[in-house]
């Protein structure tokens, strides 16, 4: 009897695009970009309160000074730092001759640098947020 | 009779009738693509210094209040810094969202509406932010009451 592949080996499991590192870094770049944009709208609005009165600005900034907002700020910085480093990677992929060849290695570089920056920043920021 | 030369499709030198793209939109998308990369490279510097000065140096986030902002905007360098950051980040972000809307909103009317809302928000925020940076008064007098701070002239 001739050897045949079992049907499960012939039928593709779903139609999900498997672009691996390149695909997921693009998804993360897109999500962080949108998050940062909406934050920026609010950030310009709250900063504009300096034009209303010092009290109005201090009241709103004071309302931000709690652990939940502190963790939110940490998340926003994490999003911006990833988007910035990965943005540089995208620029290198587009303009550097070896860029497309090393795009995967560069993503690990991005994630490594991101982790370093975030560890250092977390220590600093959380000690302000929880240190009173 | 000489053999007619047939230009390659992307040479931009073919008979106009055969061109697939109308010239009305020009190379806007290419300029937008380039702008994303240029503004991104500049924004890295602008934003990282912004985050360092406001959240890491000195008292970090605990030090932020009206006086902190007044102290920064007393210096024209920070005014220009923040102005450049506002404009570049808003244009970069707006173009990014425009691309995302084009990617996911399939109905013409949905795309138009979403982009209308987007561009309105962008104009409002950029104009508001610019006015705030340039009309900022560190020692305002509100309803006849002058603001008290050590950097303000005593009333
Ligand atoms: C910190 C420096 C930044 C760098 C280096 C950077 C870099 C980039 C690059 C190169 C792209 C183009 C990606 C592509 O065409 O495939 C991009 C897209 C985008 N950026 Fe940024 N960016 C930065 C900051 C920001 C900020 C502050 C915002 C929000 C206001 C933002 C929002 C976006 C959005 C929404 C997209 C579109 C994402 C997509 O189409 O998938 N970026 N960024």
Residue A81's CATH number: 1.20.1300
Contact (CB, 8 A) for A67 and A130: yes
Tell which wins on pLDDT, B114 or B3: B114
Which structural domain, as residue segments, surrounds residue A31?
21-131
The answer to whether residue A64 sits within a structural domain is: yes
Contact (CB, 8 A) for A36 and A83: yes
Range in A67-76, A108-117, A123-132, B107-116 with the lowest mean pLDDT: A123-132
DSSP state, residue A18:
-
The answer to whether residue A63 sits within a structural domain is: yes
Domain total for chain A? Answer: 1
Q: Where are the domains of chain B?
A: 28-138
Q: Identify which of A57, A70, A91 has the shortest CB distance to residue B40.
A: A91
A115–chain B Cβ distance below 8 A for any pair: no
User: What pLDDT score was predicted for residue B130?
Assistant: 97
Q: Where are the alpha helices (DSSP H) in chain B?
A: 28-51, 66-73, 76-104, 108-135
Collapsing DSSP states into helix, strand and coil, what is residue B146?
A: strand
Confidence of residue A131 (pLDDT cuts 50, 70, 90): confident
The answer to whether residue A12 sits within a structural domain is: no
A58–chain B Cβ distance below 8 A for any pair: yes
C-alpha B64 to ligand 1 mean position (Å): 27
- Tens digit of pLDDT for each residue in B104-125? 999 999 999 999 999 999 999 9
Report the top-level CATH class of B28-138: mainly alpha
Range in A16-20, B21-25, B26-30 with the lowest mean pLDDT: B21-25
In this predicted structure, the answer to whether residue A132 has a pLDDT above a threshold of 60 is: no
Q: How far is CA B56 from CA A79, A123, B9, B50, B141, in A?
A: 17, 10, 54, 10, 32
User: What pLDDT score was predicted for residue B107?
Assistant: 94
């Amino acid at each position: 009897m001739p050897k045949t592949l079992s049907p499960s080996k012939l039928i593709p499991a779903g139609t999900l695009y498997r672009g691996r590192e390149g695909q997921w870094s693009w998804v993360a770049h897109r999500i962080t970009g949108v998050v940062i944009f909406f934050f920026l709208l609010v950030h310009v609005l709250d900063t504009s309160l300096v034009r209303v009165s010092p009290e109005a600005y201090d009241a709103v900034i004071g309302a931000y000074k709690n652990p939940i907002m502190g963790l939110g700020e940490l998340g926003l910085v994490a999003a911006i730092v990833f988007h910035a480093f990965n943005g540089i990677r995208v620029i290198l992929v587009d303009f550097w001759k070896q860029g497309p060849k090393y795009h995967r290695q560069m993503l690990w570089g991005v994630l490594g640098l991101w982790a370093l920056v975030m560890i250092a920043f977390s220590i600093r920021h959380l000690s302000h947020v929880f240190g009173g | 009779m000489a053999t007619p030369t047939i230009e390659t499709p992307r040479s931009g030198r073919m008979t106009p009738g055969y061109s697939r793209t109308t010239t009305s939109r020009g190379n806007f998308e290419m300029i937008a693509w380039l702008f994303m990369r240029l503004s991104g490279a500049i924004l890295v510097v602008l934003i990282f210094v912004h985050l360092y000065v406001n959240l890491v140096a000195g008292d970090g986030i605990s030090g932020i209040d009206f006086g902190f902002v007044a102290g920064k905007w007393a210096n024209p360098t920070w005014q220009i810094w923040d102005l450049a950051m506002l404009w570049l980040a808003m244009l970069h972000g707006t173009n990014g969202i425009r691309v995302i809307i084009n990617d996911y909103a399939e109905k013409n009317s949905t795309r138009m509406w979403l982009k209308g809302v987007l561009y309105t928000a962008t104009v409002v925020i950029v104009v508001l932010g610019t006015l705030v940076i340039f009309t900022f008064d560190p020692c305002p007098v509100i309803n006849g009451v002058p603001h008290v701070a050590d950097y303000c002239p005593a009333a």
